[in-house]
Amino acid sequence: MINNVPNIIAQFNIQGSDFKVSPFGSGHINDTYLVKTLGLGQDYLLQKINNYVFKDVKGLMDNMVYITHHLKQKVAATGNPDKEVLTFINCKNGKYYYKDDDDNYWRMTCFLQNTKSYDMVTTGKQAQQGGIAFGRFQYLLCDMKPDLLVEVIPDFLNIEHRLAQLTNAIKNDKVGRLKEVLPELQFIKSRADDMKLLLQWGREGILPLRVTHNDTKFNNILLDEHGNIQCVIDLDTVMPGYVAYDFGDAIRSIINTAAEDEADLGTILLDIPLFKKFTRGYLSQTFSFLTGNELKSLMKGILLLPYMQAVRFLTDYLDGDVYYKTRFAGHNLQRTLAQMQLLKMLELHEDKLTGIIEKEWLLLSNNRQSDGA
In the complex, the residues that contact ligand ADP under the rule CB under 6 A are 24-25, 27-30, 32, 45, 86, 109, 111-112, 115, 117, 219-220, 222, 233-234, 236
Grouping H, G, I as helix, E, B as strand and the rest as coil, residue 32 is strand
Of the listed pieces 29-37, 152-160, 285-293, 356-364, which binds Mg ion according to CB under 5 A? 29-37
- Answer for the pair 146, 211: CB distance below 8 angstroms, yes or no: yes
Indicate the residue among 213 and 276 with the shorter CB distance to ligand ADP: 213
Integer Cα distance of 176 and 173 in angstroms: 5
- Answer for the pair 212, 151: CB distance below 8 angstroms, yes or no: no
Helix (H) or strand (E) holding 110: strand 105-110
**Residue whose C-beta lies closest to Mg ion:** 234
| Closest CB 60 distance from Mg ion, rounded Å | 11
Residue 25 interacts with, from ligand ADP, Mg ion, none (CB under 5-8 Å by kind): ligand ADP
- Answer for the pair 240, 295: CB distance below 8 angstroms, yes or no: no
88: phi then psi, degrees, rounded to nearest 5: -90, 145
Closest among 73, 70, 63 to 149, alpha carbons compared: 63
Indicate the residue among 128 and 220 with the shorter CB distance to ligand ADP: 220
Q: Does residue 59 bind Mg ion (CB under 5 A)?
A: no
Task: State the distance between the two ends of the chain, measured CA to CA, in whole angstroms.
Answer: 61
Look at the chain and count its residues: 373
Give the residue, chosen from 84, 234, 319, 360, that forms a contact with Mg ion under the rule CB under 5 A: 234
Give CA 128 to chain center in angstroms.
17
- Answer for the pair 42, 110: CB distance below 8 angstroms, yes or no: yes
Indicate the residue among 110 and 206 with the shorter CB distance to ligand ADP: 110
Indicate the residue among 214 and 284 with the shorter CB distance to ligand ADP: 214
Give the residue, chosen from 16, 24, 27, 110, that forms a contact with Mg ion under the rule CB under 5 A: 27
| Closest CB 34 distance from ligand ADP, rounded Å | 8
DSSP state of 158: -
Q: Does residue 153 bind Mg ion (CB under 5 A)?
A: no
Q: Does residue 249 bind Mg ion (CB under 5 A)?
A: no
Residue 86 interacts with, from Mg ion, ligand ADP, none (CB under 5-8 Å by kind): ligand ADP
Give me the residues that bind Mg ion (CB under 5 A), please. Answer: 27, 29, 220, 234, 236
